C-alpha cells in the first residue's frame, strides 16, 4: 500500500508501521525519565523536544540510507495531515543543535533500560551449550605496514588506489602479526 507523499518521506505504509512499533517498544516514560535524570529537558517549547530527538536518533539507525530530513518526515509526517496544523520540518542545523543539547548520557540510559537480547533460552540455534551464540558478519582491520603483514594479508584498495595500510579482513579468525622490535 502506498500513501500520499503528505504522509511522510517515502509514503510507504511500512515506514509508518516501523515508527509506530518504535514508540510502542520504547515508551515515552522511559525517555522522559532518562531525560530528567540527565537534566537535558528543553527549557522552552521547541520543534524538537528532547524525547523526539531520542526517537529521531533511534530512527536514524533504522533508516541508515536516509538523510536527517527524510527520517524526520517519517517520524512527524502525520503532523502535516492534522487539520489547521502549520508544521514545518526542522532544518538539518536545528536537528544538529537538538542532538547537541540532548547529549549522549540520556541516550545511553534509554539503551540500558530497553536493550535486551532478541533470543530467549528456547530460541533454536541461539545457544551452544550454556553460551549464547554471537557473530560478527565481517570486519576490516588496519594493520601496521610491515612486510610480514603485506605478505600475509595483502594491501587494501580504495576505489582502485592502494592504501597505506595492510588489510586484515574476513568473517573468521585471522592471525595478526606484530612487527618485531629490538630482536624480540
- Looking at the structure, tell me whether residues 178 and 102 fall in a common domain: no
- Looking at the structure, tell me whether residues 92 and 18 fall in a common domain: yes
- Looking at the structure, tell me whether residues 59 and 130 fall in a common domain: no
Give percent of the chain with pLDDT exceeding 90.
16
Query: Which position has the higher pLDDT, 34 or 49?
Result: 34
How many separate domains does the chain show?
Answer: 2
Q: Average pLDDT over the chain, rounded to whole?
A: 74
- Looking at the structure, tell me whether residues 44 and 100 fall in a common domain: yes
Which residue has cell 540520556?
106
Where a domain ends, among 97, 114, 131?
114
- Given a cut of 90, whether residue 168 has pLDDT beyond it is no
Confidence of residue 99 (pLDDT cuts 50, 70, 90): very high
- Looking at the structure, tell me whether residues 183 and 152 fall in a common domain: yes
User: Per residue in 38-74, is it b (16+ CB within 10 Å) or e — as a string?
Assistant: bebebeeeeebbbbbbbbbbbbbeebeebebebbbbb
Question: Do 167 and 143 form a contact (C-beta atoms < 8 A)?
Answer: yes
Which residue has cell 489547521?
84
- Looking at the structure, tell me whether residues 34 and 99 fall in a common domain: yes
Least confident of 1-5, 46-50, 88-92, 176-180: 1-5
For residue 141, the model assigns a pLDDT of: 74
For residue 4, the model assigns a pLDDT of: 36
Residue 34 domain boundaries:
5-114
- Looking at the structure, tell me whether residues 11 and 100 fall in a common domain: yes
- Looking at the structure, tell me whether residues 72 and 150 fall in a common domain: no
- Looking at the structure, tell me whether residues 101 and 58 fall in a common domain: yes
Q: Is the pTM of this model over 0.75?
A: no
- Looking at the structure, tell me whether residues 42 and 109 fall in a common domain: yes
For residue 2, the model assigns a pLDDT of: 31
- Looking at the structure, tell me whether residues 41 and 22 fall in a common domain: yes
Amino acid at each position: 500500500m502506498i500513501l500520499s507523499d503528505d504522509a511522510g518521506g517515502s509514503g510507504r505504509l511500512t515506514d509508518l508501521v516501523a515508527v509506530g512499533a518504535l514508540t510502542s517498544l520504547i515508551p515515552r516514560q522511559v525517555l522522559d525519565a532518562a531525560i530528567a535524570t540527565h537534566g537535558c529537558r528543553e527549557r522552552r517549547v521547541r520543534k524538537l523536544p528532547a524525547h523526539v530527538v531520542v526517537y529521531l536518533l533511534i530512527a536514524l539507525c533504522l533508516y541508515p540510507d536516509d538523510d536527517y530530513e527524510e527520517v524526520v518526515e517519517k517520524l512527524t509526517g502525520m503532523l502535516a495531515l492534522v487539520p489547521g496544523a502549520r508544521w514545518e520540518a526542522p532544518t538539518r542545523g536545528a536537528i544538529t543543535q537538538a542532538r547537541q543539547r540532548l547529549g549522549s548520557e540520556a541516550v545511553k540510559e534509554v539503551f540500558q533500560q530497553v536493550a535486551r537480547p532478541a533470543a530467549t533460552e528456547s530460541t533454536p540455534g541461539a545457544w551452544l551449550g550454556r553460551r549464547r551464540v554471537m557473530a560478527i558478519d565481517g570486519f576490516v582491520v588496519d594493520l601496521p605496514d610491515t612486510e610480514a603483514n603485506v605478505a600475509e594479508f595483502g594491501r587494501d584498495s580504495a576505489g582502485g588506489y592502494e592504501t597505506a595500510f595492510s588489510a586484515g579482513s574476513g568473517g573468521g579468525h585471522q592471525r595478526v602479526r606484530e612487527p618485531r622490535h629490538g630482536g624480540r
